[in-house]
Amino acid sequence: MNPWRGDFPILKRTVNGKPLIYFDNANTAQKPQAVIDAVDHFYCQHNANVARAVHLLSEEATAMYERARERIAAWIGAAAPREIVMTSGTTMAINLVAQSYLRPRLRENDEVLITAMEHHANIVPWQLLCAATGARLVVAPIFDDGTLDVQALVSLISPHTKLVGVTHVSNVLGTINPIAEIASATKARGVPLLVDGSQALPHFKVDVRALGCDFYCFTGHKLFAPTGTGVLWARYETLDAMSPWIGGGEMIDAVSFERTIYAPPPRRFEAGTPNIAGFIGLAAAIDYLAAQDCYALHTHEQALLQRLLEGLKGLGGVRLIGSAKDRVPVVSFTLEDAHATDVAMLLDLEGVAVRSGQHCAHPLMQRFGVNATLRASMAFYNTIDEVDQLLAALALVRAKLA
């Protein structure tokens, strides 16, 4: 009996007359009732804008919003809540670093170093910046098993390197990168390290200060929280040396037509009305996770992963993309003589939700010579029986396509 499954109401529904089997968690995770209740409670009892009014509802909303910041800071090991910038997601967080931190420091012939397994969110912002400044984007290779060539990455750090950007966990391969080792190398060379943690935090705890990176970003909706939420962490002195990227209300201390005095971090980077309810939901998601047995979650997810890998190998005609030993339960694969999208649509008829396509990682698809893959990404609320049903559905689909 899965002890977490009952906490997620959407898992009770059916799809095409079949019980829902949701294996698209790397895309977005489902929300526990505690998160849904927290958002509902805010809108029913406390809805008002934050940091703008002195009436009771606004004071309550502001207090709840700032408590969420405190909860996030504690959860990831930040030194203080003021190191937490609330964003709409990892994409916005990385763009913020690109525009507010790196752009003033980047010159022609400088370099930004990333890896071949990055999500577009950790590629495109740097490409835009390089195009605008004359800098170059340098890419560290990966091995055929989907692991990062760390030695090659370190060797590519040069006096021209102004930032290294690395995903903590690949959204396609499930590979966990050795961030502490990479951070040690970048620190020794005086180069800042940005880590995309979107796929890491749903599967294990992270202590940003222990990792040794300079920027850490993650997205709330993959962490069982509402969409439109995300976090950029950096040390306060780093944030304080950065200029704002987006201007507007609430990110200022004073405005005249002659000049503007910006608020201190993190407010400096939070122009406009934030997703108040969403961040209250994110805090509730963190509270939910904190109440669980981390070892039990990890053990169960690894059991799901091994069951799926063994089953796929036994199907025949399956190509697994990546085989790293240190990984989360995210599995990408292809079926011989079948397009991934066709297979995904047929699986949906069986009530099974998987992702098909290039997963916002076009260069990685090119690296492995595939146009698209199927991706089954699992969470702790999935079951061994669901994995077996996915395997049975894949066998049925193969028979239909034969």
Active site amino acids: 360
Structure tokens at 121: 């969110």
The rounded distance, in Å, linking the Cα atoms of 314 and 317 is: 9
**SS3 at position 293:** coil
Length of the chain, please? Answer: 402
Of 91, 38, 95, 75, the C-alpha closest to 206 is 75
* Residue 29: HSE in the Cβ half-sphere, 13 Å Cα cutoff: 29
Q: What separation in angstroms does the CA of 369 have from each of 166, 321, 366, 373?
A: 22, 10, 5, 11
Cβ atoms 193, 183 nearer than 8 A:
yes
The values of phi and psi at residue 2, to 5°, are -80, 115
Of 188, 182, 192, the C-alpha closest to 153 is 182
Residue 143: burial class (beta carbons within 10 Å; 0-12, 13-18, 19+): middle
The rounded distance, in Å, linking the Cα atoms of 227 and 88 is: 8
The rounded distance, in Å, linking the Cα atoms of 40 and 49 is: 16
What angle (nearest 5°) sits at the alpha carbon of residue 386, between those of residues 380 and 391? Answer: 125
